[in-house]
Chains A and B, each alone.
Chain A
Amino acid sequence: MYGRGLRPLSLATAAAFTVALGLVFFYAPLEADQGFVQKIFYVHVPLAIVSLCGFVLGGLLAIQHLRTRDSRWDMRSYVAIHMSLILGVGTLITGSIWAKASWGHWWVWDEPTLVSFLIVFLLYATYQPLRFSIEDPERQSRYASVFAIAAGAFVPLNFAAVRMSTGYVHPRVLGDTSNLPGPMALTFLVSLLAMALLYATLCKYEMTAKHARGQVRALRRKLSGEVPAQGRSAAPRLSGPPALSGTPAPSAPAPLSPRPAGATATGSTTPAVGRPGG
């Protein structure tokens, strides 16, 4: 069920990227000041926009996770943030290349957009370490969601704060597409669409892969009976709880006297609920 629609989505992404690159190289005019270097704009800005939207999306999905306590929402939030981080690396690299080419420096501090993107990126770079250093999967997903919500709200706040602190130098494309000439605006919008499709495809691939891995693990457990050792992981797991709750069921079929059964039940549940000892 996770893989459904993956092929059309991938094809649509490939088609959109082909069209976008074709427009970038053959249709959009050369910019008068910067010349050919300006073409990186059609990669850099969509990367940044999609990545930031992905961070905020991760926060919204995390709200849904805390509301429903369904681990699938946690998985979606994790994948959204994970993919946004990868696109964020791309944004920083393409941004540096563009800055070097047009301003002569790899990094420019009086660029509010650049600086705030770096701050947001540094904040989200702690998302994986945070998840990784919490062992209990339930607590891991809960804490990660709290982080994702706070950080998702931080993204627009941070942009406002950094923009307040410096002048307006960066080309602001989102507010005013009107100052772009028509062909450039069209090319930019198609590139943005292609990048959004790429993001969606990558997210879907990762979710499908995670789901398939969980299913394989569950099947192997069912076939051989042994529990394969799971290393600590920053990624959420989908098929953990059913297998765990299935094992104590056969051990309690004789609840004739209520008291011992209750005692064993509480005895068996407390270690799972309590904090991991090691």
Chain B
Amino acid sequence: MSTGSATHPPSTPPTIRVHPRPPGVAAVVLALLRKEFLVELRTLESVPGMALFAVSTFVVFHFALDATSVSGKEASGVLWVTLLFAAMLGVNRLFVADAEQGGFDAFLLAPVDRSALLIAKALALLAYLVVFELVAVPAFGLLLLEPSLGQSMPDLLAVLALADIGIAVIGTLVAALAVQTRARDLLGPLLALPLLVPIVIGAAKASAPLLAITGAGGSPTRWLLGLALYDLVFGLIAYAVFDFLLED
């Protein structure tokens, strides 16, 4: 008793800075998003490449279809194939910097909820898609589309938004799966394209009447509902399984 108290002199406890409580998910997501945007602004790796790819693809479609303008189903198909393949470029780059430069390790060391990474990456990919479409869709209207974009814009925006959410969620999940493999540039699109087929079905069906030459027919609500449902279900699936991709 007495020896014990002698060996431990009554001094002030060592001052270890303990964070009062781990930061909430929202704070972590915001911090990760800030980092993502900072990296993208400094390297400009994803968005400019995607936009340039989309414009080049429109030029390729012009020559491949040998058409000066498209409308209706054709237009919808050209638009969605281009957007999808351009999005693949962003998906392939999404986690590469984290895997190669130790971002994963740093994130795993932090005492934060791991789902925050999924949310932040999906939001970042969504932002990239939106910015890239700000270039790609007007370019499509200028270069290939026969009817003007103006009248069908509100409906088309809804379709684009719903499809983008789906692409962002599935793209993030697939990118996280593929980034640790040796053939990631190959496996990413191979995994993503079948998973994105329902999105393409919904988006193409919903936007075909919007791009038709005979005035903008409204897009059927059931396709929008289908898209929203698919986004929701895959968001839940991704949320459920994402943690298991991050333990090492």
Q: Which residues of A contact B (CB under 8 A)?
A: 66, 119-120, 122-123, 126, 129-130, 133-135, 139, 142-143, 145-147, 149-151, 153-154, 157-158, 161-162, 164-165, 273-275
Binds A, one of B12-20, B40-48, B188-196: B188-196
Across the interface, which residues of B come within 8 angstroms of A139, CB to CB?
Answer: 180, 248
Interface of chain B residues 175 through 228 with chain A (CB within 8 A): 177-178, 180-184, 186-187, 190-191, 193-195, 197-198, 201-202, 205, 222, 226
Q: List 28 A-B contacts (CB under 8 A).
A: A66-B241, A120-B194, A122-B194, A123-B191, A126-B190, A126-B191, A126-B194, A130-B178, A130-B187, A133-B184, A133-B187, A134-B180, A134-B182, A142-B247, A146-B241, A146-B244, A146-B245, A147-B177, A147-B191, A149-B241, A150-B173, A150-B241, A158-B194, A158-B197, A161-B202, A161-B226, A161-B230, A164-B226
Residues from chain A with Cβ under 8 Å of B181 in the complex: 130, 133-134, 143
Docked-complex contact B177 and A153, CB < 8 angstroms: no
A122 to B193, CA, bound (A): 9
Q: In chain B, what residue has the closest Cβ to A126?
A: B190
> CB-CB < 8 A to A120: which residues of B?
194
Interface contact B237-A153, CB-CB below 8 Å = yes
Flag if A149 contacts B237 (CB, 8 Å). yes
Overall SS of chain A's interface: helix
Closest to B240 in A: A149
Residues of B within 8 A of A119 (CB): 194, 197
Residues of chain B within 8 A (CB-CB) of A165 are: 201, 205
Residues B244 and A142 in contact, CB atoms below 8 Å apart:
yes
| A126-B205 in contact (CB<8A) | no
A-B pairs, top 10 by smallest CB distance, nearest first, are A161-B198, A123-B194, A133-B181, A133-B182, A133-B183, A146-B241, A126-B190, A165-B201, A122-B194, A119-B197
Smallest CB separation, B140 vs chain A (Å)? 23
* A120-B194, A135-B182 known; A145+B230 contact, CB < 8 A: no
1/0 contact trace for B164-182 toward A, CB 8 Å? Answer: 0000000001000110111
Complex formed: what's the CA distance from A146 to B182 in Å?
18
Complex CA–CA separation, A195 to B76 (angstroms)? 42
Which of B201, B245, B248 is A162 in contact with, Cβ under 8 Å?
Answer: B201
Q: B130 an interface residue at 8 Å Cβ cutoff? A: no
Q: Please name 10 further chain A to chain B contacts, defined as beta carbons within 8 Å, in addition to the given A146-B241, A146-B245, A149-B241, sorted by A numbering.
A: A126-B191, A129-B190, A133-B181, A133-B182, A134-B182, A143-B177, A147-B177, A150-B173, A161-B197, A164-B226
Task: Report the Cα distance A138→B163, complex, angstroms.
Answer: 34
Q: Is the interface of B mostly helix, strand, loop or mixed?
A: helix
Known: A119-B197, A157-B233. A130 touches B248 (CB 8 A): no
Assess whether B245 is in contact with A143, with CB atoms less than 8 Å apart.
yes
Q: Give the shortest distance, in Å, between A164 (CB) and chain B (any CB).
A: 6
Task: Flag if A150 contacts B201 (CB, 8 Å).
Answer: no
Q: Which of A126, A130, A135, A153 has the most CB of B within 10 A?
A: A126
Chain A residues within 8 Å of B183, by CB:
129, 133
Q: Are B191 and A130 in contact (CB under 8 A)?
A: yes
Please, which residues of chain A bring their CB within 8 A of the CB of B190? 126, 129
Nearest CB on A from B198, distance (A): 4
- Judged by a CB distance under 8 angstroms, whether B135 is at the interface is no
Residues of A within 8 A of B201 (CB): 161-162, 164-165
Q: Whole-angstrom distance between the alpha carbons of A157 and B195 in the complex?
A: 10
With A66-B244, A149-B237, A149-B241 as known contacts, state yes or no: A157 contacts B230, CB within 8 Å. yes
**Bound form: Cα–Cα A169–B197 in Å:** 21
Nearest-neighbour CB distance to chain A for B225, whole angstroms, equals: 10
Residues of A within 8 A of B230 (CB): 157, 161
Bound form: Cα–Cα A139–B177 in Å:
10
* Residue contact B197 to A143, C-beta cutoff 8 Å: no
Name which residue of chain A comes closest to B182, CB basis: A133
Of the listed residues B205, B226, B244, the one surrounded by the most CB atoms of chain A closer than 10 A to its CB is B244
* Residues of chain A lying within 8 A (CB to CB) of residue B178: 130
Tell me the smallest distance from the CB of B139 to a CB of chain A, in Å. 28
Residues of A within 8 A of B137 (CB): none
Nearest chain-B residue to A152 (Cβ)? B237
Closest to B205 in A: A165
Does B123 interact with chain A (Cβ within 8 Å)? no
Closest to A129 in B: B187
In the complex, which residues of chain A have a beta carbon less than 8 angstroms from the beta carbon of B240? Answer: 149
Greatest chain B CB density within 10 A among A66, A120, A134, A149 is at A134
| Nearest CB on A from B167, distance (A) | 15
> Min CB distance, A11 to chain B, in Å?
38
Which residues from A are CB-within-8-Å of B194? 119-120, 122-123, 126, 154, 158
- Bound together, the chains give a CA A136 to CA B180 distance in angstroms of 10
Report the minimum CB–CB distance from B92 to chain A (whole Å). Answer: 15
